[in-house]
Amino acid sequence: MKKILAIILFSSIIIVGCNGTTGEEEVSTQPFKQTEFLLGTVVTVKIYDEDKEAVLQEAFTLMEELEAKISTSIEDSEINKINQQAGKEAVKVSEEVFNLIESGKAYSEKANGSFDITIGPLTSLWHIGYEDAKKPDQSEITEILSYIDYEKIEMNEDNQTIYLEQENMQLDLGAIAKGFIADRINELFEEKEVSTGIIDLGGNIYVRGEHPRQDNWTIGIQNPFEGRGELVGKVTGENISVVTSGIYERYLEVDGKQYHHLLNPIDGYPFDNEIAGVTIISEKSIDGDALSTLVFSKGLEGGLQAIEEMDDIDVIIVTKDKEVYLSEGFTNFELTNEDFVLMEGVE
């Protein structure tokens, strides 16, 4: 699932301290920074610790290794090998891929199938965002839906194998891949004792450590109706993931009607409700990926209720009527765009 970019807002960044340290760690006033095109998007990582420049390259090496294993755009990836053997035989995979699929299956169960990592045949059918995108016939959708069922993913932990029980099934981990990788980079930072840094994987934003000049980092929330950089408001925090998804980032227009890229694996069509954009604030980036789709699937009231039942997860929902709703008790958001209205609750 493609993310609307959340823009990190700082006029200048000068890190003079770090979170959870004794003051013996040294952090630079200017970060070590690297930007590359990976995972189908522009990826930027910044590290402020003076003696941790080498970790930056380790982070990008790790991303390249993980992309090679999970991308369906790479012919010999482990995910493609699983898909090619659907209905035929189990495929042995790496620990990272096994864990990612295990997480994806768990999120699919939590969403009762409205999020489903076997949605690959449906995303391929619509192919929204590509030149050959089309609105399929109902007969095509009906056939494709028979191939979508996360319960038909057979996982053998002892052998570390994955088997798709039905021919023509396809895994598509695009909805959670960037979140999974962002979390792995953050784990690498923890292992290497990086105290202060920013991980931006095309909209999956993670801020690590304390901001030097104010209490928290400030992260802008993209306006889903305007171009990149136009904001609804801003979130403050530290050591948090912020992931924003929206319906206007990628869509297909047919006979004057827009069909966005967030597809419902139950009926085969894009989710159709009052929601225009969803932002998930969490400790883990993979939660933001999966739960943003869950909120879209449940609509405004159901989405708010679902998030409020979870610990350490918050949500910002922007509706097509330009109303903004927050999960109960979330106070780290400031509305900055006068075209939008911050609502007290769902009536």
| Residue 4 CB neighbour total at 10 angstroms | 23
The H-or-E segment that residue 237 falls in is strand 231-237
175 marked ligand binding residue: yes
Buried b (16+ CB within 10 A) or exposed e, 230-247: ebbbbbbbeebbbbbbbb
289 marked ligand binding residue: yes
Q: What is d(CA 260, CA 306) in angstroms, rounded to the nearest whole number?
A: 23
- Provide CB contacts within 8 A for 45, sequence distance 6+: 33, 34, 56, 59, 60, 185, 197, 198, 199, 200
Largest pairwise CA distance in the chain:
65
Are 149 and 166 in contact, with CB atoms under 8 Å apart? yes
Buried b (16+ CB within 10 A) or exposed e, 115-145: bbbbbbbbbebbebeeeebebbeeeebeebb
142 marked ligand binding residue: no
- Binding site residues, as ranges? 175, 289, 293
- Binding site residues for Mg(2+), as ranges? 175, 289, 293
